[in-house]
Amino acid sequence: MIVMAGMIGAGKTTYTTKIAKELHTQPFYEAVDENPILNKYYNNPEKYGFALQIYFLNKRFKSIKEAFFDQNNVLDRSIYEDALFTKINVENGNISIEEYQLYLELLDNMMEELATLPKKAPDLMIYLDASFDHILTNIQKRGRTFEQPTKENGLLTYYQQLHTAYGDWFEQYDHGPKLKIDANRYDVTKEKDWQNVFDQIQTKLNRKEMTIG
């Protein structure tokens, strides 16, 4: 199983589609349009912060269980990052300490379940490292109304917090092989750039197979 990681708007969805196509495997997406809480969360994070994290945890757990059964399926976000989003929401006062405790216990329980599956962690975690400006441009281009930062809504601060936290998060990630891709450098809609990126991914995947073999 391959998981994508990275900031909002880093390009995980595009990479997920392209990698799965290249490897002839199945992509697993976060279905934003079907998420009944996301929009509400962006408007009122204090009210919906906890519910949103439980929603994502549940969805992610389901996708992981399904994705585990074939080789090289691709997930567009990791369960490990959800915990990072949760932590930031606790720091911002959107989630209480009691709710956080509950979340962590639930996450622990779920991770124990996953540990009983044949694979205990992703075969490869691909982190898209993008500059803050690059991310803001992508969020603007995508144009989802609720994600747009304004002077009043505090989203710029939230995005800045997340962007800073992601760097450390990646350095500390130690559940398995990982690969950092400089998302600023490549335009993967261009074939030449895509081949360059995919070569890096394949090298990592082959190295993992060689280690196992």
Ligand X SMILES: Nc1ncnc2c1ncn2[C@@H]1O[C@H](COP(=O)(O)OP(=O)(O)OP(=O)(O)O)[C@@H](O)[C@H]1O
Nearest Cα residue to 142 out of 13, 2, 5? 13
Closest distance to ligand X from the beta carbon of 211 (Å): 29
- Considering the complex, state which of residue 19 and residue 38 has its C-beta at the smaller distance from ligand X: 38
Stretch in the footprint of ligand X (CB under 6 A) among 3-11, 19-27, 64-72, 101-109: 3-11
Under the criterion CB under 6 A, does residue 200 sit at the interface with ligand X?
no
Q: For the packed helices 45-67 and 79-91, what is the interaxial angle rounded to 10 degrees?
A: 170
Under the criterion CB under 6 A, does residue 8 sit at the interface with ligand X?
yes
Tokens of 23: 């490897």
Whether 182 is catalytic is no
Distance CA 12, CA 70 (A): 20
> Catalytic residue among 33, 76, 82, 168, which?
76
* Residue of the chain from 1, 23, 38, 64 that contacts ligand X (CB under 6 A): 38
- Considering the complex, state which of residue 22 and residue 30 has its C-beta at the smaller distance from ligand X: 30
Nearest Cα residue to 188 out of 180, 197, 177? 197
Strand, coil or helix: 5: strand
- Considering the complex, state which of residue 71 and residue 154 has its C-beta at the smaller distance from ligand X: 154
Closest distance to ligand X from the beta carbon of 174 (Å): 20
Under the criterion CB under 6 A, does residue 149 sit at the interface with ligand X?
no
Beta-carbon contacts of residue 108 (< 8 Å; ≥ 6 apart): none
Closest distance to ligand X from the beta carbon of 158 (Å): 9
SS (H, E, C) 132-173: HHHHHHHHHHHCCHHHCCCCCCCHHHHHHHHHHHHHHHHHHC
- Considering the complex, state which of residue 71 and residue 157 has its C-beta at the smaller distance from ligand X: 157
Q: What is the contact surface with ligand X in residues (CB under 6 A)?
A: 6, 8-13, 30, 32, 38, 52-53, 56, 82, 85, 147
